[in-house]
Amino acid sequence: MEEVNEHFVNLTKAYKALTDETIRENYEMYGHPDGKRETAMGIALPKWIVETRNHGYVVGLYGLVFGLMLPYLVGKWWHGSRKYTKDQVLNESASRYFLNLTEETKFANAVEVLCSSLEFKALESKHIRVFESNKSYKKLEDQVTTTLFNSTGEKLEGRLYNNSSEKFVKRTAVLVYAHMFRIPISDVAILNAKHDVINYGRHLTNGMQSITLGYNWLSTYLVIIKLQQHLVQAMHPALSPLVQLPHVSVKTAEKLAKNNEIGSPEQFSMLSEQQKDTLFPELKGQDHIKKQIQSISEHWPKLELVSSEFKVVGEKTVTPGCVIHFTMKIRIKNPKSSATGKENGKSPAQEPEQTTEQDLKGEEMEIDELLGRKKAGADGEEKCPIVHAPHVTKDTKPSYYWLVGDHKLNRIFVQPVKFTDVGYTKTRVLKTTFQAPHSPGLYTFQAYVKSDSYVDTDVQASMQLRVEDKEAAEDANAEDDISEPDEDTLAGQMAAMRGKPTKKQKTDDDSDDTSGTESSDDDSSSDSDSDSD
């Protein structure tokens, strides 16, 4: 019965909407025949807040939160943020980097400057029992001093180490070198202190990079990246890169490197089973361990250069001050394909280059990129596994730094670009722009791709850039635009005598819809030759 009544009401409203002028206007204006409806909005609050008897408590709570707690939290955040740089490094530590880093900083000096960071002073207070009256630490310090001197001839006697008011500098250095020389530590407290120092140190190198980039010092910047690599892999530059593989002792790696038998992880994957048993007697009969090492060595992220070029869009030559588009292609080297290529008499450079999406679409891809319509993965981005670094406690994703500089001038020309996602199946395309020198001439520079996690996997390309005078370049382009003379003209006969091309004269037999072809010059770039070290 209710449904019948409701249906009748709807029919009545529909009838009135068709016959009553006022109701019809309401329906047209408001979407229903009842006219304008008033709406009220409010905030749903608990009942006890609006009760009169709780008025004093509510006002007191409001004043406590917004009058005391909020200003305190904002002030604490502001005071804390002022103490740190944008790299989250203490300003006082950054000042020490500024004063102690130089244009000719070496690896040992970089370690000393890193250990002088005031963040380690707080760590010393946390682990003070480790250093005070601890026989294990004294023994470790003696081991580090002896190992460092025997390997490099260096001593922990720098200016920052000998500061009696800051003993934490030398104590931190002892833990850092113990980590890089892989000296066994049995004391759990010392081991925990070492892990804290290394985790902080990996972060603090970012602040050292920022100071170095302010001066554009190339060699110092490369040293700091080198320090990053060796902190992650727990190895000193004096050790063989082979120690990055698991189950390979420092003693065995040094022996093989000294005899020039094997010196890098990727070389392990190309050894036969008999060679592995001969070179690594401690692994003989342990097939599961050898398979593990084999798997890691086959996927070792050794980079190789595919190509590198630079060009000026819309121009055939590089003129002073123009914007140069620099493109570099890299990929992870496959040890198996390299071994197969050598067996077939082919070098790795002769292997077919992997095709990227940009290669397929050419100019269309460049236009889309300029318009901001670049697709994800268009430059060969591919997810990569975490870093193989069993001696550090924090997992990390491998990253790379791409920069351009000149080692002869020791200057960085193009600020480093940090990137990741370099996989095993795609070619990674790197692109950047920089301004050409303001004077004509031939310039040489180097492009570097440096890993922040692996040792001896980097790639470098040496290139030459010829900058031509603007007027001469315009004259050359104008000459290129002049069309070829007909062969039956005087200009055509003179061009033919000089060996230059001419247009052939059309015959009457040629069809009207046939047109001559014109040669077109490739709209690309500059003289460049690249080689990878």
Is the pLDDT reported for residue 508 higher than 90?
no
Taking residues 104-124, what's their average pLDDT? Answer: 95
Is the pLDDT reported for residue 206 higher than 90?
yes
Give burial (CB, 10 Å; 0-12/13-18/19+) of 203: middle
**Looking at residue 495, what is its pLDDT?**
60
Taking residues 402-407, what's their average pLDDT? Answer: 95
Is the pLDDT reported for residue 418 higher than 80?
yes
**Looking at residue 139, what is its pLDDT?**
93
Is the pLDDT reported for residue 350 higher than 70?
no
Please give the share of the chain, as a percent, with pLDDT higher than 70. Answer: 78
Residue with tokens 């000096």: 109
Is the pLDDT reported for residue 115 higher than 60?
yes
Compute CA 9 distance to the chain's CA centroid, rounded to the nearest angstrom.
Answer: 71
Where is average pLDDT lowest: 52-56, 364-368, 417-421?
364-368
Q: Between these two residues, 430 and 481, which has the higher pLDDT value?
A: 430
3-state helix, strand, coil in the chain (%, to 5): 45, 15, 40
Give the Cα separation of 154 and 250 in Å (integer).
19
pLDDT band at 360 (very low <50, low <70, confident <90, very high): very low
| Ramachandran angles phi, psi of 313, nearest 5° | -65, 125
Give the Cα separation of 533 and 519 in Å (integer).
38
Tell me if residue 448 falls in helix, strand or coil. Answer: strand
253-305: per-residue pLDDT in tens? 888 888 777 888 988 888 888 888 888 888 888 889 989 999 999 989 999 99
Taking residues 226-239, what's their average pLDDT? Answer: 96
**Looking at residue 364, what is its pLDDT?**
52
Task: For residue 404, list its beta bridge partners.
Answer: 414, 447
Is the pLDDT reported for residue 526 higher than 90?
no
**Looking at residue 47, what is its pLDDT?**
81
Is the pLDDT reported for residue 346 higher than 90?
no
377-394: per-residue pLDDT in tens? 677 788 888 999 999 998
Taking residues 223-236, what's their average pLDDT? Answer: 97
Question: Residue 205 CB: number of other CB atoms within 10 A?
Answer: 21
Please give the share of the chain, as a percent, with pLDDT higher than 90. Answer: 45
Residues composing the chain? 533
Taking residues 416-435, what's their average pLDDT? Answer: 91
DSSP state of 453: S
> At CA 374, angle to CA 369 and CA 375, rounded to 5?
155
144-159: per-residue pLDDT in tens? 999 999 999 999 988 8
Is the pLDDT reported for residue 533 higher than 90?
no
Is the pLDDT reported for residue 107 higher than 90?
yes
Q: 427: left (phi > 0), else alpha (psi -120 to 50), else beta?
A: beta
453-478: per-residue pLDDT in tens? 999 999 999 999 999 887 765 665 55
**Looking at residue 175, what is its pLDDT?**
96
Give burial (CB, 10 Å; 0-12/13-18/19+) of 284: exposed
